Structure 1
Amino acid sequence: MSSDSTTQIRLDKWLWAARFYKTRMQASEAINGGHIKLNGQRTKPGARLQIGDQLFIRKQMLTFDIIVRELAQRRGPASVAERLYEETVESVTRRETQQAARREQARLNPRPKRKPDKRERRKIIRFVNKYSQENS
């Protein structure tokens, strides 16, 4: 899985091999959706990735700013995939602060133990409708 004789690889294939996405199709959709930037620019799934390139990846609520260290043609174990890239220090600290903020938000706003039943849903709907009519 280490660096092959090739010096370039498709971006979608590398994202799949580095285990950022479960399938190449998901990687391609993320690239087409503008969630991946190669060296600060929007790109296409077939863009050629080289060692030393910088990637900015937005995945769900997380953001990764990484530098490509190795190229891989095949997907392997996670321990090997981690060696394919190096995450910047700023990216790690930003992600940790985002995760801490989400944990704190979840602690302050716990989820209800169950969904509201039919009667409770009707009360909620009536309340929302009444409140929205008063503010209109």
Structure 2
Amino acid sequence: MATTTEKLRLDKYLWAIRVFKTRTQAAAACEAGKVKMNGVAVKAARAVSIGDQYDIKTEARKWKVEVTGLLHNRLQYSEAIKYYIDITTEEDKQFNQRVAATFYTGKRPSKIGRPTKRERRNLDEFMDGDEQ
């Protein structure tokens, strides 16, 4: 673990503890106001200190973490979790489970949207038969 006098950017810390997959995503979340300290949005370049508490909102879940150590490089998950304490409330954990159960797969739901070629032919036959 590093000493408290070293400087570490917030986006780099969030990337190193594996909250975000890339440092760019961490910086974008900070710029979008999705990372807060004491209810105030913080910038990506903010220096992280031991004892800081951050509220983080990602696409997958809400986090509330307390910094226990400064991590400059990305490590495997089992090592990275030693550098923060997850103090997420039970209410937010329930929200996280609800969101995960209804994720978007990219496919359109069945029987919604544009008709298939077969359905369009049936419609055309039906409409043409109506004119005679």
TM-score (norm: length of structure 2) = 0.71
Aligned partner letter, 1:50: S
Alpha-carbon distance, 1:92 to partner: 4.5
1:36-75 matched pairs, under 5 angstroms: 36-75=35-74
1:81 counterpart residue number: 80
Alpha-carbon distance, 1:57 to partner: 0.2
Match of 2:116, SS state, is: helix
Q: Quick check: 1:68–1:84 contact (8 Å CA) kept in 2?
A: yes
Match of 1:64, SS state, is: strand
Match of 1:94, SS state, is: helix
Query: What CA RMSD, in Å, does the superposition of the two structures yield over aligned residues?
Result: 3.3
- The question of 1:93 aligning with 2:94 is answered no
Alpha-carbon distance, 1:62 to partner: 1.3
Q: Which has the larger radius of gyration?
A: 2
1:3-18 matched pairs, under 5 angstroms: 3-4=2-3, 6-18=5-17
Alpha-carbon distance, 1:41 to partner: 1.5
Measure the CA separation in 2 of the matches of 1:98 and 1:59.
12
Measure the CA separation in 1 of the matches of 2:67 and 2:26.
16
Give 1 or 2: higher helix fraction: 1
TM-score (norm: length of structure 1) = 0.69
Q: Quick check: 1:52–1:67 contact (8 Å CA) kept in 2?
A: yes
Any unmatched runs of 5+ in structure 2?
121-132
Alpha-carbon distance, 1:84 to partner: 1.1
Measure the CA separation in 1 of the matches of 2:109 and 2:28.
34
Change (3 A) 1:4 1:30: same
* Aligned residue pair count: 117
